[in-house]
Amino acid sequence: INPAPRRRDTRSFEERLRDIESETARLAAPEFIADPESFFPTYRIDEVREREARSRVQGVARDLSWQSAFSAHFPENQERFAKLRRNSFARMRLIQRDPRDPRPTLILIHGFLGGNPVFEELLFPASALFEAGYDLALVTLPGHGARREGGALSRPSWPGRGPSFTIDGYRQAIADLRAILDYLLRLGAPSVGGIGMSLGGYTVSLLATVEERLSLAIPYIPLASHADYLFDNGLLGPDVERASILRERLERLFSAVSPLSRPPLIPREGRAVVVGEVDAITPPSHGERIARHWGVEPYYFGGAHLLQIGRTEAILSALLRTSAALRDPR
């Protein structure tokens, strides 16, 4: 999910509107949207630390880490990111049937507060995906899991700390994911797709608008809009008319990192969206917005955001719809 602000905003409507509009020109310049290759630069993973991992999945599991070669775009964030020492190392658990003969690989992207591969293996669910014929790469988003400053009980360092920091954090997330995709292809994976849950659903949807080498993308119970999340949770004020104005302005403010600002680069047959019918955190409207933007019909299941009854069947069904784009699993 998109975390709520640490404290309720006490600024007046006029003050909030003025601040948003003054930042929009800087944070949502047209060239950021028109030229994603420049706004979301990536890097090459060469030096990797790895160790054997204990996994519930019956494959060869390794935990990998490397330097995230990321540079903040906005000057005020350069020192902020430099202080996040744990975040500067990207992380991934790679689970393969046979490292000498990689299969089509799925990048699994967790939600807010996630990032521990022990738990993510259960949530996705990794064993069922592995048994369906796919190798797996469970990644850790910036500021989460072992990249979180202050220990497991601390608040993730991202998203948050203001719009520019949140935007630069998405830039780091996309840079890391593009580097991971490249690394997996160089290891010999015949193709690579992505499945993201909640905040990870937003991130994989954004990745699909930037990275043409991604064969499929499945946002699952996704966040689609920071502005919608704040509006739906009453964080833009009690006056609906004024809150609606702020929502529209915030939509523009975050447009450089919105999955709705650019067309997806992956083929239509590689797109699927899974929506929880009784999801109260990222309600169906979020997944439906992404589905409309992608030109596909969402796949609904009866579960919720936290009580994900039927999640295994939902994810496997969506994967079945898109598996042709990833080639037939072996």
CA atoms within 13 A on the CB side of 324: 6
Q: How many CB atoms lie within 10 A of CB 30?
A: 10
Question: Which candidate, 68, 14, 19, places its Cα nearest to that of 43?
Answer: 68
| Residue 17 main-chain phi, psi, to 5 deg | -60, -45
- What pLDDT is stored for residue 260 in this prediction? 98
Contact 111, 124 (CB under 8 A): no
pLDDT in tens, the chain (330 residues): 444 455 567 788 999 999 999 999 999 999 999 999 999 999 999 999 999 999 999 999 999 999 999 999 999 999 999 999 999 999 999 999 999 999 999 999 999 999 999 999 998 989 999 999 999 999 999 999 999 988 766 789 899 889 999 999 999 999 999 999 999 999 999 999 999 999 999 999 999 999 999 999 999 999 999 999 999 999 998 999 999 999 999 999 999 999 999 999 999 999 999 999 999 999 999 999 999 999 999 999 998 888 888 888 989 999 988 877 776 444
The length of the chain, given as a count of residues: 330
Per DSSP, the three-state class of 90 is strand
Contact 22, 164 (CB under 8 A): no
- What pLDDT is stored for residue 330 in this prediction? 42
Write the DSSP string, 101-159: SPPPEEEEE--TT---HHHHHHHTTHHHHHHTT-EEEEE--TTSGGG-TT-TTSPPSSS
| Residue 323 main-chain phi, psi, to 5 deg | -65, -25
Contact 266, 191 (CB under 8 A): no
Give me Rg for the CA atoms of the chain: 19
